[in-house]
């Protein structure tokens, strides 16, 4: 069998691995490349297979950098099935149509420029309508339910503890066991269960986002959150990703209030996507950490008299006049779009405001400029002075850090014969490869984008695995 590394190779987005046997062809993840000036070209590039000839997609989780290429594949003739856990499918119902809208808007604004300069116009990678159409090819596969794909491939999904519904993919193919971590979560994440550990893999394909870094402790992040809230003299504006980060924050705030550590000040979740995503946590409590499941049996941790979930634009606009201490959690997480820009527009110039960052701020984003201390920023074509207090808590992360990855890989009863390190910047992947060799004696490779490897059946002679490298 052959494994092609189509994306997330020496980078962190665009996850897509093609597994080919003599008879079948499956994709593990089909994600969008994001955050580069060439993202459109990367996402629209020719693929080494025709989507019509694909036998199925196995989706680890709903994040667009893992799922966002699916509508394109369906538009080009792929007809399913797409295997995913029920919460992943529910999240995709929110995330994929939204990705379609963004594709349409991006093409529109790019074409404005192209028209002016006499260039060829772009068509959107896919539309919202095409994304909605793709949803009908999903097939629910609960955790730990072993299923057969075609004639002889067995598939089992295990909890990855990264976001709601996220999975580790275990495939039994031609006498070998392949394990794909997808994005691996943290142990003691609070909200989700710990990533499942597996006894055995012949070939391991692991992410390495934080292969060279370590996160702060959960207790430190809660202490810092408490300090920010207690010191607030006006609104605390929190740009946060709608899925997972918003719910983690709500959970931490709920606990601080319940324990009497902070006053029950008003909390506004002002993002339609975050409101929908929060409802999904309530729909799938069995996928959450045991402590939270117990909580849900009495009352949802997302229900408190002072928590307000806002969908309507009018109610959102009323928050512009807010002066007293309150928490406004809004998207997008890097302040590049969405309602957060309105809150910043109205509150950044006031000294009483606190802007609290709880997520990664990529270069060249508005969030990054504010976080780095820009004295003024441009919002809606106006220059806004930044007088607000700016605070960042870095310990929120949906990914395992370097020690988390090492511990998880170290938990295999039988070490993998070969590990492919993906989904990380090269320095992070190399740091993980080095530690795996030193601490566990593991052999690993860091595939380059487009490379393919021939995997020898592990059952015949796992010690003499041969690799064949080629450029797709
Ligand atoms: Zn993810």
> What crossing angle do the helices spanning 272-283 and 86-116 adopt, rounded to 10°?
160
Please state the rounded mean pLDDT for residues 252-278: 95
pLDDT band at 461 (very low <50, low <70, confident <90, very high): low
> 245: CA distance to ligand 1 center in Å?
12
Please tell me the least confidently modeled range out of 218-222, 314-318, 422-426: 218-222
The pLDDT assigned to 467 comes to: 52
> 182: CA distance to ligand 1 center in Å?
8
Please state the rounded mean pLDDT for residues 1-23: 94
- Does residue 470 register a pLDDT over 50? no
The pLDDT assigned to 464 comes to: 44
> 233: CA distance to ligand 1 center in Å?
35
**Is the backbone peptide bond immediately before 178 cis, with ω within 30 degrees of 0?**
no
Please tell me the least confidently modeled range out of 49-53, 106-110, 266-270, 307-311: 106-110
Please tell me the least confidently modeled range out of 234-243, 274-283, 333-342, 461-470: 461-470
Which candidate, 12, 7, 17, 63, places its Cα nearest to that of 173? 17
Average pLDDT, the chain: 92
> 309: CA distance to ligand 1 center in Å?
24
Q: Residues near 46 by Cβ (< 8 Å), separated by ≥ 6?
A: none
pLDDT tens readout for residues 116-133: 999 999 999 999 999 999
pLDDT band at 138 (very low <50, low <70, confident <90, very high): very high
Please tell me the least confidently modeled range out of 43-47, 63-67, 102-106, 465-469: 465-469
Can you tell me the distance from the alpha carbon of 71 to that of 77, in angstroms, rounded to the nearest whole number? 10
Please state the rounded mean pLDDT for residues 454-470: 61
Two tokens, residue 241:
């990703």
The pLDDT assigned to 147 comes to: 97
Can you tell me the distance from the alpha carbon of 249 to that of 243, in angstroms, rounded to the nearest whole number? 11
The pLDDT assigned to 362 comes to: 78
The total number of residues written for the chain in this structure? 472
Please tell me the least confidently modeled range out of 18-22, 24-28, 448-452, 458-462: 458-462
> 163: CA distance to ligand 1 center in Å?
7
Provide, rounded to the nearest whole percent, the portion of the chain with pLDDT above 70.
97
Provide, rounded to the nearest whole percent, the portion of the chain with pLDDT above 90.
81
> 248: CA distance to ligand 1 center in Å?
15
> 62: CA distance to ligand 1 center in Å?
7
The pLDDT assigned to 471 comes to: 43
> 460: CA distance to ligand 1 center in Å?
35
- Does residue 465 register a pLDDT over 90? no
CA distances in angstroms from 416 to 199, 217, 445, listed in the order given: 10, 29, 12
> 121: CA distance to ligand 1 center in Å?
32
pLDDT tens readout for residues 51-105: 999 999 999 999 999 999 999 999 999 998 999 999 999 999 999 999 999 899 8
> 63: CA distance to ligand 1 center in Å?
5
Please state the rounded mean pLDDT for residues 288-316: 90
> 231: CA distance to ligand 1 center in Å?
33
Q: Is the dihedral of CA 291, 292, 294, 295 positive or negative?
A: positive
The pLDDT assigned to 459 comes to: 64
Please state the rounded mean pLDDT for residues 194-205: 96
- Does residue 381 register a pLDDT over 50? yes
Please state the rounded mean pLDDT for residues 321-346: 93
- Does residue 235 register a pLDDT over 90? yes
> 166: CA distance to ligand 1 center in Å?
8
Between 40 and 16, the higher pLDDT residue = 16
> 319: CA distance to ligand 1 center in Å?
31
> 219: CA distance to ligand 1 center in Å?
23
Please state the rounded mean pLDDT for residues 390-409: 92
């Amino acid at each position: 069998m052959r494994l092609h590394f189509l994306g997330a190779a020496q980078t962190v987005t665009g996850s897509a691995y093609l597994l080919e046997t003599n008879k079948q062809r499956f994709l593990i993840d089909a994600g969008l490349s994001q955050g580069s000036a060439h993202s459109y070209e990367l996402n629209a590039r020719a693929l080494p297979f025709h989507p019509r000839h694909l036998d199925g997609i196995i989706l680890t989780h709903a994040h667009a950098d893992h799922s966002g290429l699916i509508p394109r594949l369906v538009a080009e003739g792929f007809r399913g099935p797409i295997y995913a856990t029920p919460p992943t499918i529910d999240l995709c119902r929110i995330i994929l149509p939204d990705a379609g809208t963004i594709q349409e808007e991006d093409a529109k604004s790019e074409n404005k420029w192209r028209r002016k300069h006499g260039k060829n116009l772009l068509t959107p990678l896919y539309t919202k309508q095409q994304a909605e159409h793709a949803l009908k090819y999903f097939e629910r596969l609960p955790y730990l339910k072993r299923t057969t794909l075609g004639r002889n491939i067995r598939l089992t999904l295990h909890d990855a503890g990264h976001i709601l519904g996220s999975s580790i993919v275990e495939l039994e193919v031609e006498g070998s066991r392949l394990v794909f971590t997808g994005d691996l979560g943290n142990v003691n994440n609070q909200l989700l269960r710990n990533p499942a550990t597996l006894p055995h893999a012949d070939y391991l394909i692991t992410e390495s986002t934080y292969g060279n870094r370590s996160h702060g402790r959960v207790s430190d992040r809660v202490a810092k959150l408490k300090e920010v809230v207690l010191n607030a003299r006006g609104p605390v504006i929190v740009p946060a990703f709608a899925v997972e980060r918003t719910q983690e924050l709500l959970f931490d705030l709920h606990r601080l209030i319940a324990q009497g550590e902070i006053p029950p000040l008003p909390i506004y979740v002002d993002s339609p996507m975050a409101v929908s995503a929060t409802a999904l946590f309530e729909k799938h409590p069995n996928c959450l950490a045991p402590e939270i499941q117990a909580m849900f049996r009495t009352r949802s941790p997302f229900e408190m008299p002072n928590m307000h979930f806002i969908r309507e634009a009018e109610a959102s606009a009323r928050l512009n006049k807010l002066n007293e201490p309150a928490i406004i959690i809004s998207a997008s997480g890097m302040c590049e779009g969405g309602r957060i820009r309105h809150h910043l527009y109205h509150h950044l110039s006031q000294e009483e405001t606190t802007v609290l960052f709880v997520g990664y701020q990529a270069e060249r984003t508005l969030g990054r400029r504010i976080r780095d201390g820009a004295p003024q920023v441009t919002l809606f074509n106006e220059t806004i002075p930044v007088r607000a207090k700016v605070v960042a808590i870095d310990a929120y992360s949906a990914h395992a850090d370097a020690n988390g990855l090492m511990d998880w890989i170290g938990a295999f009863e039988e070490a993998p014969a070969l590990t492919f390190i993906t989904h990380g910047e090269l320095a992070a992947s190399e740091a993980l490869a080095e530690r795996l060799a030193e601490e566990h004696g593991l052999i690993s490779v860091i595939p380059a984008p487009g490379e393919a490897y021939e995997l020898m059946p592990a059952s015949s002679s796992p010690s003499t695995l041969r690799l064949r490298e080629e450029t797709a």
